[in-house]
Chains A and B, each alone.
Chain A
Amino acid sequence: MSTTTGGRGDLMHSKWTIPVGSLLIGLVLLGANIVGHQTVLGLWSLGIMVAFGAAVLLGGRSETVRGLRGDGRDERFAMLDLQATALAGLALIIAVIVAFIVEVARGHSGEPYDWLGAIAGLAYIAAVIVLRVRG
């Protein structure tokens, strides 16, 4: 019986997860921008991601930062994380639906918002089915 989440061997909740993830995303963005001949924009993207990762890593003792970093996670923060993720997902889905409607009203096909909305809907249905089967 455990009331905590995360630990030394829990990669998802290591304090390095977000900083390293941010660095990797920044490098991918840099690479994509170099391929697209926008090196300066890529460097800005990398800088922003590195700054965010560093802020989380060195962000002090605040519960929010420790929870994001992983060293202050417990069951309550896991619940907050889940609710925040659901809220962020809802905001994204609403934005996609609004953008799709605006594009259609402008006489366009609605791409790429049509398939983005479809992915969200199918992912939700799949998650409900899997979670229901798992109990």
Chain B
Amino acid sequence: MRNDVRGLRSARGLSQGDLGDALGVSRQTINAIETERYTPSLPLAIELARFFGISVEDLFHVDDNGRKG
């Protein structure tokens, strides 16, 4: 699913490992989310949004025409 995780993470000067450690997931999972190879669970999506201080809808983007962004 299309998302702004990479941009927000980079803007805060965090590595994928740093973000993974903060959220209790692996660096590879953060990478998979950023490259749209993995759609996180709702709890992880909410934790990511809370971490960046924005809403889930602002972090993840779903196309109006389809289920996936």
Contacts and interface: CB of A to CB of B under 8 A. Distances in A.
A75 B41 CA distance: 8
B21 to A, nearest CB: 11
B47 A1 contact: yes
Contact of B41 (A3, A63, A66, A72): A3
B32 A3 contact: no
B47 A76 contact: no
Interface string B28-41: 11001000001011
- Say whether chain B's binding surface is mostly helix, strand, loop, or mixed: helix
A4 B29 CA distance: 11
B59 interface: no
A63 B44 CA distance: 19
A74 B26 contact: yes
A52 interface: no
Interface residues of B, number: 14
A72 to B, nearest CB: 6
Contact of B24 (A74, A77, A79): A74
A135 B24 CA distance: 27
A1 B45 CA distance: 11
Contacts of A72: 26
Interface of B: 23-26, 28-29, 32, 38, 40-41, 43-44, 46-47
19 contacts: A1-B43, A1-B46, A2-B24, A3-B23, A4-B24, A63-B26, A66-B26, A72-B26, A74-B24, A74-B25, A74-B29, A75-B29, A75-B44, A76-B25, A76-B26, A76-B38, A76-B40, A77-B26, A79-B38
Given A3-B24, A74-B26, 7 more contacts: A1-B47, A2-B43, A63-B28, A72-B26, A75-B44, A76-B25, A76-B26
Interface of A: 1-4, 63, 66, 72, 74-77, 79
